[in-house]
Amino acid sequence: MSAAEEIAEALVHHRSEPDYQRDQRGIPDEDHLVIIIAALQDPRPAELEEVAARAIGAIAREEPFDAALPAFLLRRYLDTLAAELGDALGVALAQSFALADADPTVIGRAGWLTLLVEATAVADDERMRPGVTALVGGLRAAWPAQTRIDEIAASVEACLRAVEIVEPGDLVQDAIDQLERVIGGSYRPGEGLVRDLDGLRARGSLDDHVRGASALLTAFDITGRLPYSMLAEELIAVASRARSTDAGLVIQCETARVLCRLAALHADPDYRGAAVIAGAADYRAEASRILAAESVRARAGTPSAAAAYGLALRDLLRDVR
C-alpha cells in the first residue's frame, strides 16, 4: 500500500473519531489530511527528478546541450544539495565558457550569460567574472543595430541580471534605454507589439511578447518602476489571446515562467495596492495548464528541452518571482 493510500485509509477510519482523541494521538485533522494526500499524489515533483536524471545522463554521455540544462542542474542542486547534481553541474559549467563563446545566436548567448551570473553563487572559478564581463560586452555592443524584439529583450534582460556581478556603471541605464527603444517603439495599446516585415505591419510573435514581458519584469525588479511590470502584464495578456497550439516547447515554458512571476506580484498586497492589475487573472492556474499540456512533449524531447520544462515546473511549484 502506498503512503497516499495509507493516509487515505486513515482519513476514512478517523473521520468519526472525536477531535480530542485524534489530537492525543497526533493525527492531523481532516483538512490537513486532504492536503497531505494531494501532495503525495501530485506527480509533478517526480517529474523534476526525471528531468534531473536525464540531465545528469546527458552530461555523462557528453551529449550537446544549451544553457537551459546546466541552469536546471544549478537550480536543483541549490534545492537539494545532491552530490550527483553537483558533480554533473561542475562538468557542465566547465564546458559553458567555450559553448557561450561559440553560440551564434543572441538568445543563446543571453542564456549563457544568465547561467554564469547565477552560477557565481556556487562556482569558485576564476573564469566566471571575466566570462560574464565578456558576454555583457559582446551583447551590449550589438544593441544599436538590433531590431528583433525577442533578441533585444533577451539580451537586455541578461545584461540587467549581470549588474550584480559586473561594475554597473551606465549599464542599467543603457539597458533600460534599449528596452524602451524597442518595446516602446513597437507597442500599440490594445494590440501589443507590432513590427515591420518587408514593409508590412504585423503583430509581434509569441516570442516577442513573452521575452519582452520577461525583460520588463526584470527591469521592474531593478528599478521599481510600476509601468514596466504593468506593461509586462498587458503583453502577456496579448500573448495569451494569440497563443498558437503549435508554439515551441521552450517558448511555452518561458511563458509559464513569466506567468509565475506575475502571479507572485499579484500575491504581494503592497504591489496590488500600488499597481493597476488584471484582478480576475489567475496566472498560476494558466501556467499550470500550459505545463500540463507540455509534459508529454518535454518527455519526448531532448534533455535540454526537458530542462527548459523543468525550470518552468520548478518555478510553478516553488512560487518563484
- Domain of 260, CATH number, reads 1.50.10.20
Q: Which stretch of 31-45, 150-164, 185-199 has the lowest confidence by average pLDDT? A: 31-45
Same domain? 67 vs 32: no
Handedness of CA 32, 38, 41, 43 (dihedral sign): negative
Distance, CA of 43 to chain centre: 20
Tell me the three cell numbers of residue 10: 486513515
- Confidence class of residue 199 from pLDDT cuts 50, 70 and 90? low
Reply yes or no on whether the pLDDT at 180 is more than 70. yes
The pLDDT value given to residue 313 = 96
Q: In this structure, how many other beta carbons lie within 10 angstroms of the beta carbon of residue 267?
A: 13
Same domain, 28 and 52: no
Of 150, 133, 129, nearest to 141 (Cα)? 133
pLDDT at 320 over 60: no
Listed residue (241, 235, 72, 224) closest to 153, CA to CA: 235
pLDDT bucket at 41, cuts 50 / 70 / 90: very low
Q: Which residue has the cell 542564456?
A: 111
In terms of domains, do 206 and 302 share one? yes
Same domain, 14 and 84: no
Q: Based on the domain organization, do 23 and 161 belong to the same domain?
A: no
Tell me the C-alpha distance between 128 and 135, whole Å: 11
For the beta carbon of residue 220, count every other beta carbon within 10 angstroms. Answer: 21
State the Cα–Cα distance between residues 94 and 139, nearest whole angstrom.
21
| Chain centroid to CA 104 | 22
Taking 90 as the threshold, does the pLDDT of residue 215 lie above it? Answer: yes
The vertex-262 CA angle with 148 and 46, nearest 5°, equals 100
- The length of the chain is 321
How many CB atoms lie under 10 A from the CB of residue 180?
16
Helix (DSSP H) and strand (DSSP E) numbers for the chain = 17, 3
pLDDT at 198: 63
pLDDT at residue 162, rounded to an integer: 95
% of the chain at pLDDT higher than 70:
83
Give the model confidence (pLDDT) of 74-104 as tens digits: 999 999 999 999 999 999 999 999 999 999 9
Burial 206-216 (b: 16+ CB within 10 A, else e): bbbbbbbbbbb
For residue 244, name the pLDDT band (cuts at 50, 70, 90): low
- Residue from 265, 308, 312 nearest 291 by CA: 312
Question: Within this chain, do residues 170 and 287 fall inside the same structural domain, yes or no?
Answer: yes
Q: Do residues 99 and 23 share a domain? A: no
* Exposure on the CB side of residue 25, measured as CA atoms within 13 A: 11
The answer to whether 51 and 300 have CB atoms below 8 angstroms apart is: no
Nearest to 128 by CA among 87, 100, 152: 100
Residue 124 has pLDDT above 90, yes or no: no
The DSSP symbol for 192 reads E
Which residue matches cell numbers 518552468? Answer: 312
Task: Give, rounded to a whole angstrom, the gap between the first and last alpha carbons of the chain.
Answer: 38
Q: What's the number of domains the chain is made of?
A: 2
What are the pLDDT digits (tens) for 260-305? Answer: 999 999 999 999 999 988 878 899 999 999 999 999 999 999 999 9
Joined grid coordinates for residue 174: 543603457
CA-only gyration radius of the chain, Å: 22
**Residue 56: pLDDT over 70:** yes
Are residues 232 and 200 located together in one domain of the fold? yes
Is 92 in the same domain as 35?
A: no
Domain region containing 13:
1-41
Is there a single domain that holds both residue 104 and residue 154?
Answer: yes
Higher-confidence residue of 68 and 20: namely 68
Is residue 59 located within the same domain as residue 13? no
- Grid cell of 50 as nine digits: 526525471
Residues 140 and 178 in one domain: yes
What pLDDT is recorded for position 35?
Answer: 43
Please name the helix (run of DSSP H) or strand (run of DSSP E) that holds residue 125, with its range, or none: none
- Residue 11 pLDDT > 50: no
